[in-house]
């Protein structure tokens, strides 16, 4: 099982919080698509003979692509990769792009999952974030997608926004539940260098993020998701259960019994993936590589049939730390047997020692799965400090 990520590096407008690679100019769009098709050919052997179970169009704003452009790219992928007939094919979209006509066209492509960047159902928050759409467009984009025939819809929401009260955060969540979407991704607002927010805070134009309020809103998020039977399968991701059995043990549901995002789940489970497009990352268990974060450099390099990437081999230390970081964030947790089998005893002993204080503090719990294999899982309390705990479990070489 493997996945392909395609970065579409264009946006109509820059959001104040975003530090992903993109351009607000579309003048090089055709040259970019030509370069992307070249990269597909040049990278055809990266995943060897692995079946492709997921394709993810991310960005940027992939919904700026036309029906014909999406069909062309999927067709090009199909020439060089073995894509499963039931592969999950996701396209990220902004509400303002999703007119009824656009959705009708998207439904005629192989895209079978939409990830809609709502961010908030409040006009005050949307204006603060510098989003193009308004709250009514956000609601209509989901309803119109459902009317067009899409049955697997994810939406993104942001909490910890300076303008967002706890009351309005609950209202945002209830609006999402009312829309009956299959999946909700919720991210705490962060301030990254090179963003407008970073500049605004340095100049005193806006207040910095209130970490206490962010924590409160994360706790509200977990409670509300549990009430509405969503599976909290990764720190930021929640999936509705498939079927009508609301009394089932959601934490024990297999992957196919809920609307979990398969592509991102592959990342957290350590599956191989190929990233195409400027700034995209690739991983094959032994090494990691990343493309140049420049549209012009990307295009010019591929005009010469050269792949514009840097690469690093992964040491045992890096592989262990990466496994801790990704596995601990999930409902499946960190498999202690996996660490014991795949790494030297030094790592297994270190993990047991370092995890003990977090178990004692109630942030981690050690459980046995049905096969009696021991796992480490974050408790609700521990989820508030997931990154800090993971860092504490990292092995730092002398």
237-247 mean pLDDT: 72
Which tens digit of pLDDT belongs to each residue from 274-318?
999 999 999 999 999 999 999 999 999 999 999 999 999 999 999
Question: What's residue 211's pLDDT?
Answer: 96
What region, left, alpha or beta, does residue 18 occupy, with left being phi > 0 and alpha being psi -120 to 50 degrees? beta
Q: Give Cα separations from 254 to 87, 129, 229, 259 (angstroms).
A: 18, 37, 15, 11
Query: pLDDT tier at 334 (50, 70, 90 boundaries)?
Result: very high
Q: Where are the domains of the chain?
A: 2-268, 316-398
Copy the structure tokens of residue 158.
């942001």
Answer whether residue 249 shows pLDDT above 80. Answer: no
Topology of domain 2-268 in CATH is Transcription Regulator spoIIAA (3.30.750)
Question: What's residue 254's pLDDT?
Answer: 42
Interatomic CA distance for residues 247 and 238, integer angstroms:
17
Q: Quick one: angle between helices 29-42 and 67-80, nearest 10?
A: 10
Whether the Cβ atoms of residue 3 and residue 55 lie closer than 8 Å to each other? yes
Query: pLDDT tier at 250 (50, 70, 90 boundaries)?
Result: very low
48-67 mean pLDDT: 95
Question: What's residue 243's pLDDT?
Answer: 67
Answer whether residue 380 shows pLDDT above 80. Answer: yes
Answer whether residue 397 shows pLDDT above 80. Answer: no
269-273 mean pLDDT: 94
Three-class DSSP labels, the chain: CEEEEEEECECCCCCCCCCCCCECCCCCHHHHHHHHHHHHHHCCCCCCCCCEEEEEEEECCHHHCCHHHHHHHHHHHHHHCCEEEEEEEEEEECHHHCCHHHHHHHCCCCCCEEEEEEECCCHHHHHHHCCCCCHHHHHHHHHHHHHHCCCCEEEEEEECCCCCCHHHHHHHHHHHHHCCCCEEEEEECCCCCCCHHHHHHHCCCCCCCCHHHHHHHHHHHHHHHHHCCCEEEECCEEECECCCCCCCCHHHCCHHHECCCHHHHHHHCCCEEEEECCCCEEECCCEEEEECCCHHHHHHHHHCCCCCEEEEECCHHHHHHHHHHHHHCECCCEEHHHHHHHCCHHHHHHHHHHHHHHHHCCCEEEEECCCCCEEEEECHHHHCCHHHHHHHHCCCCC
Which tens digit of pLDDT belongs to each residue from 16-51?
999 889 898 888 999 999 999 999 999 999 999 889
Which tens digit of pLDDT belongs to each residue from 354-374?
999 999 999 999 999 888 889
Largest Cα–Cα distance in the chain? 59
Please give the residue that has the higher pLDDT: either 285 or 255. 285
Question: What's residue 256's pLDDT?
Answer: 52
Is there a shared CATH topology between the 2-268 domain and the 316-398 domain? no
From the options 2.70.98, 1.10.10, 1.10.15, 1.10.1060, give the CATH code of 316-398: 1.10.10
Which tens digit of pLDDT belongs to each residue from 98-140?
999 999 999 999 999 999 999 999 999 999 999 999 999 999 9
Question: What's residue 398's pLDDT?
Answer: 58
Interatomic CA distance for residues 225 and 297, integer angstroms:
43
Question: What's residue 293's pLDDT?
Answer: 96
Nearest C-alpha neighbor of 56 from the set 222, 208, 218, 276: 276
Which tens digit of pLDDT belongs to each residue from 84-93?
999 999 999 9
Answer whether residue 72 shows pLDDT above 70. Answer: yes
Nearest C-alpha neighbor of 123 from the set 139, 143, 146: 139
Q: What is the pTM of this model?
A: 0.94
Which tens digit of pLDDT belongs to each residue from 155-214?
999 999 999 999 999 999 999 999 999 999 999 999 999 999 999 999 999 999 999 999
Nearest C-alpha neighbor of 115 from the set 78, 150, 82: 150
Average pLDDT, the chain: 94
Question: What's residue 245's pLDDT?
Answer: 40
Question: What's residue 369's pLDDT?
Answer: 84
């Amino acid at each position: 099982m493997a996945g392909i990520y395609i970065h579409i590096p264009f946006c109509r407008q820059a959001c104040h919080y975003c530090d992903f690679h993109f351009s607000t100019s579309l003048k090089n769009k055709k040259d970019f698509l030509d370069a992307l098709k070249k990269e597909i050919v040049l990278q055809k052997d990266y995943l060897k003979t692995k079946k492709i179970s997921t394709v993810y169009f991310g960005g940027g704003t992939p919904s700026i692509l036309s029906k014909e452009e999406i069909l062309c790219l999927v067709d090009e992928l199909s020439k060089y990769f073995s894509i499963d007939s039931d592969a999950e094919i996701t396209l990220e979209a902004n509400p303002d792009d999703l007119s009824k006509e656009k959705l009708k066209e998207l439904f005629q492509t192989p895209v079978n999952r939409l990830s809609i960047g709502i961010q908030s159902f409040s006009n005050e928050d949307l204006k603060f974030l510098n989003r193009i759409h308004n709250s009514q467009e956000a609601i209509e984009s989901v309803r119109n997608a459902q009317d067009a025939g899409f049955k697997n819809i994810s939406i993104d929401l942001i909490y910890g926004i300076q303008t967002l009260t706890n009351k309005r955060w609950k209202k945002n969540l209830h609006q999402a539940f009312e829309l009956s979407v299959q999946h909700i991704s919720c991210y705490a607002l962060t301030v990254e260098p090179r963003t407008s927010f970073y500049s605004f805070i340095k100049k005193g134009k806006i207040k910095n993020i209130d970490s206490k309020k962010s924590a409160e809103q994360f706790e509200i998020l977990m409670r509300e998701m549990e009430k509405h039977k969503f599976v909290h399968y990764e720190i930021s991701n929640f999936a509705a259960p498939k079927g009508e059995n609301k009394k089932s043990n959601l934490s024990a549901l297999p992957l196919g019994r809920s609307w979990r995002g398969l592509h991102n789940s592959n990342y957290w489970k350590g599956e191989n993936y190929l990233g195409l497009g400027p700034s995209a990352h690739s991983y094959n268990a032994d090494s990691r590589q990343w493309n140049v974060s420049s549209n012009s450099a990307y295009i010019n390099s591929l005009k010469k049939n050269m792949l514009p990437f840097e690469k690093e081999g992964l040491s045992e230390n890096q592989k262990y730390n990466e496994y801790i970081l990704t596995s601990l964030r999930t409902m499946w947790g960190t498999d202690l047997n996996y660490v014991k089998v795949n790494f030297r005893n030094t790592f297994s002993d270190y993990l047991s020692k370092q995890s003990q204080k977090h178990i004692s503090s109630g942030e981690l719990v050690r459980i046995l799965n049905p096969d009696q294999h021991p796992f480490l899982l974050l408790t609700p309390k521990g989820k508030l400090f997931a990154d800090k705990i993971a860092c504490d479990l990292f092995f730092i070489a002398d």
